[in-house]
Amino acid sequence: KMSADSYARNMRSLDDYFKTLGRLLQDENWDDAEIASKLLSVHGPHSTHAFLQVSRLGEQRNRPFIRDDTFDAIAVLHLQVLHDIHVEKNYESAYDVHTQIMKKFTEEILRIKRESNWFLPIFYQLCTDLRNTAKMADELGAPDEERDTSFYEQCASFIMESYRACITDARDARISKKIAILNMTNQLFRIYFKINKLNLLKPLIRTIDNAENLQRAFSMADKVTYNYFLGRNAMFDSNLPLCE
């Protein structure tokens, strides 16, 4: 199996990009989705290709496309994000477009695709990139005196919307989207630590504590990250036995 780096090195055109993504998505399996996730990341190995930093691709008639309409739209929006970051240097727009990707993924994949969770590696990357683009907009964008909250704080609401779409999935862990709650909790840990709103973590921690039936389905990487943040949170609460 080729890596995302190898796929990106072999790309010479927009057509190559869409064909590669289409092939990775067609079998609907977790391993291919992990590779596809890197090819839909703002820091992915393809992201510096100038021919992929395209604006308004969806308005072009004779363009390549992915058979699945939702993933096709997500790919088009992703290339707009790359254009906003690398060509326009418009980081607020990059963040806004990425929030559209999050909404589309939540409404058209998390809420609609039942009996499967193979696409979660892509979703995890989209959540990470939501934080990345929010951070860029805050640090590199034009200052706005009228904005009450940072982009980084705003992005928590999009992840919580996705969280609500997954938490109600009561299917077997092998196909349940509920296994995404640990990764999303880790994403929210990062945000709430940065904006100093640790009180918002308590219900999330309680949910993980009560999800004993999912513990074996959670990835080891997510469990290690969660325990790290749990220790940090316990230090703030002066809960020293839990820290240890």
Write the pLDDT tens digit of every residue in 163-213.
999 999 999 999 999 999 999 999 999 999 999 999 999 999 999 999 999
Mean pLDDT of 29-52: 99
Is the CB of residue 130 less than 8 Å from the CB of residue 105?
no
Q: pLDDT per residue over 93-150, tens digit each?
A: 999 999 999 999 999 999 999 899 999 999 999 999 999 999 999 999 888 777 889 9
Q: How confident is the model at residue 55 (pLDDT cuts 50, 70, 90)?
A: very high
Q: Which pLDDT band, with edges at 50, 70 and 90, does 241 fall under?
A: low
Confidence of residue 243 (pLDDT cuts 50, 70, 90): low
**Among 205, 99, 192, 102, residue whose Cα is nearest residue 153:** 192
CA angle 134, 118, 25 (to 5 degrees): 85
Please say whether the beta carbons of 223 and 185 come within 8 A: no
Cβ-Cβ contacts under 8 Å for 58 (sequence gap 6 or more): 73, 76
Read off the pLDDT of each residue in 75-84 and give the average, rounded to a whole number. 99
Q: For the chain, list the strands marked E by DSSP.
A: none
Whether residue 239 is predicted with pLDDT greater than 80 in this model: the reply is no
**Average pLDDT value for residue range 15-34:** 98
Place of tokens 């862990």: 173
Taking only the tens place, the pLDDT of each residue in 152-174 is 999 999 999 999 999 999 999 99
Q: What is the dihedral of CA 79, 86, 30, 120, to 10 degrees?
A: -80
Q: pLDDT over 70 for what percent of the chain?
A: 97
Rounded Cα distance, 205 and 237, in Å: 14
Q: Which residue has the higher pLDDT, 244 or 96?
A: 96
